Amino acid sequence: MSETPPIRAHVTGWGRYVPSHVLTNTDLEKMVDTNDEWIVSRTGIRERRVAAANETTASMAAVASLRAIRAAGISPDEIDLILLATLTPDYWMPSTAALVKEAIGNTRAAAMDVAAACSGFVYGFATAQAWITSGLAKHVLVIGAELLTRFLDYTDRSTCILFGDGAGAAVLSASTEPGGAMGIELTTEPQGAYMIWLPAGGAKSPPSSETIARGEHYIRMEGKETYRFATRTLASTALESVRKSGLEPDDISLFIPHQANIRIIDAVAKGLNLPMDRMFTNVDRYGNTSAASVPIAMAEAVNEGRVKVGDRITIVAFGAGFTSGAVTIQWTADPARGADADTAIRAEDVHVRLPVDWDSVDPIPQALAELMARPGAVNPPLDDVVPGEPEPAPFLPAADRPALTPAAS
Ligand code: ACO
């Protein structure tokens, strides 16, 4: 009697979206006491993207998702489960995943957010793999999307230079063909809980004028402790995933690590005893996009021809929590499908529904207003979806804007 082959989770679709506004190190030199040389030598970051006023985590996620679904060659309604990893949801509730479900035109999927900071996409990917291999779902959409530039203190040079906005997505599909996702390794070390955190806005410290005056609505980070955790954990997490797949690091043609800092990626390569050309990097162009970083990097790696059918790749991330996660994948999809999806899905055609009885507030941080008002910059209305909404206030240079409460240093 022949045995039924096991169900495997294959990556069948991938997509990315980044906003068009570019914030360079030279721009940051005008805001805080920093310089291009320091940022490039300590982090590898040259520029990052900033979402426009009418963009949200959900809108960026929806564009990346539709590209991933198109690359997978399925219709949005074939998705059974949507997992959206983010630390910058549009709202505390509903989930951003629910908004994305509607925006992509899906009527049947269960949708929920995943909170594991920068490791969120890998955590979501591993969860999708479990749903598929257990037979619970046929197609799962996993998204990493972040709008971090609205949660940064632009007087704190140790954090505001690091982060950027964007979204990436993957479709995982059930198949009995060989290949697909293999060994999973996930870790959580709560002793690092307050090393990267956003103090106010939650139940422990609800938002108030006091929390805003103290700047507790911004991301805080102990850079050195985080750096130590990342360099200690990233290589060991990747190695565990590779070994659980019955492989050794040298069998992996490309590692796709979380893009936080080029020095951390360099340490991973050294830890695995591999040359840097086995590490995919794009941190120079986008900075740290948290949960979006791995899926953006994966989509770019595939679209740039760095991944071929049959290759084994490992996605690996670390983040607040402290969390870390890795999954090793044998690639089976035609890489050419990604570039086609990128051109076929245009961001301006994708809309996230807004509440009807609510006026949007200009969400652009005062420190970024000048950037958004640059000649040639595209600044569509805040919300062009709800009829009867008042026109948003025009973008003003920082000096002409009403002062915001200064953040505590
Ligand atoms: N420009 C110029 N100087 C700076 C800047 C800046 N932007 N930021 C800090 N400095 C100064 C410091 O004040 C310090 O000066 P001092 O010696 O006079 O006190 C000096 O530079 C050295 O600062 P360090 O913090 O020691 O710099 P370090 O080499 O550790 O680099 C960095 C800092 C880049 C933040 C690094 O620690 C790092 O990458 N940490 C990991 C961060 C990370 O990956 N976070 C993402 C987590 S993922 C998530 O879940 C959100």
Which listed residue (160, 258, 261, 282) is catalytic? 258
The percent of residues in the chain predicted with pLDDT above 70, rounded, is: 91
Strand order of the β-sheet with 254-257 is: 180-188, 323-330, 312-319, 254-257
pLDDT for res 402: 47
For the record, the structure tokens of 31 come out as 């805001």
pLDDT for res 113: 98
- Report the separation in Å between the CA atom of 222 and the middle of ligand 1, taken as the mean of its atom positions: 8
Ligand 1 atom with least separation from CA of 261: 39
Residue 288 DSSP symbol: B
Query: Which residues does residue 140 pair with via DSSP β-bridges, in sequence order?
Result: 81, 172
> What lines the ligand 1 site, CB under 6 Å?
34, 38-39, 42-43, 117-118, 157-158, 161, 196, 221, 223-224, 226-227, 230, 260-261, 288, 290, 319-320
**Which is it for the CA torsion 191, 225, 43, 89, positive or negative?**
positive
Helices H / strands E in the chain, number of each: 13, 13
Q: What are phi and psi of 289, to 5 degrees?
A: -105, 25
**Which is it for the CA torsion 275, 280, 284, 287, positive or negative?**
negative
Burial class from Cβ neighbours inside 10 Å (0-12, 13-18, 19+) for residue 313 reads buried
Which listed residue (21, 118, 160, 303) is catalytic? 118
pLDDT of residue 172 exceeding 50: yes
Asked if 157 contacts 187 with a C-beta cutoff of 8 angstroms, the reply is no
* C-alpha dist (Å) from residue 12 to 181, 230, 289, 330: 11, 30, 23, 12
261 is an active site residue: no
- Report the separation in Å between the CA atom of 198 and the middle of ligand 1, taken as the mean of its atom positions: 18
Query: Which residues does residue 142 pair with via DSSP β-bridges, in sequence order?
Result: 83, 170
Distance CA 25, CA 30 (A): 9
Give residue-wise pLDDT tens across range 74-96.
999 999 999 999 999 999 999 99
pLDDT of residue 348 exceeding 80: yes
Q: Mean pLDDT across the chain, nearest whole number?
A: 92
Residue type, 398: A
Which listed residue (25, 54, 282, 288) is catalytic? 288
Distance CA 7, CA 132 (A): 7
- Report the separation in Å between the CA atom of 220 and the middle of ligand 1, taken as the mean of its atom positions: 12
pLDDT for res 360: 79
Distance CA 111, CA 298 (A): 22
pLDDT for res 359: 79
Query: Which residues does residue 22 pair with via DSSP β-bridges, in sequence order?
Result: 49
- Report the separation in Å between the CA atom of 158 and the middle of ligand 1, taken as the mean of its atom positions: 5
Place of tokens 């983010």: 86
| Residue located nearest, by CA, to atom 44 of ligand 1 | 260
10 is an active site residue: no
Task: For residue 191, give every residue at least 6 positions away whose Cβ sits within 8 Å of its Cβ, in sequence order, or none.
Answer: 322
Q: For residue 281, how far is the Cα from the chain centroid?
A: 14
Task: For residue 394, give every residue at least 6 positions away whose Cβ sits within 8 Å of its Cβ, in sequence order, or none.
Answer: none
Which of 226, 266, 409 for a ligand 1 pocket mutation test, highest count of atoms within 8 Å of Cβ?
226
**Predicted confidence band at 380 (pLDDT cuts at 50, 70, 90)?**
low
pLDDT of residue 384 exceeding 80: no
Q: Is the peptide bond before 295 cis (omega within 30 degrees of 0)?
A: no
Ligand 1 atom with least separation from CA of 258: 48
Give residue-wise pLDDT tens across range 122-169.
999 999 999 999 999 999 999 999 999 999 999 999 999 999 999 999
Domains annotated for the chain, with CATH where assigned, are: 8-349 (3.40.47.10)
Q: Is the peptide bond before 229 cis (omega within 30 degrees of 0)?
A: no
Ligand 1 atom with least separation from CA of 117: 50
Distance CA 32, CA 161 (A): 9
Q: How many Cα atoms within 13 Å fall on the side-chain side of residue 322?
A: 21
- Report the separation in Å between the CA atom of 32 and the middle of ligand 1, taken as the mean of its atom positions: 14
Strand order of the β-sheet with 110-114 is: 8-17, 165-175, 139-147, 81-85, 110-114
160 is an active site residue: no
pLDDT for res 387: 42
pLDDT of residue 390 exceeding 50: no
pLDDT of residue 186 exceeding 90: yes
Residue 166 DSSP symbol: E
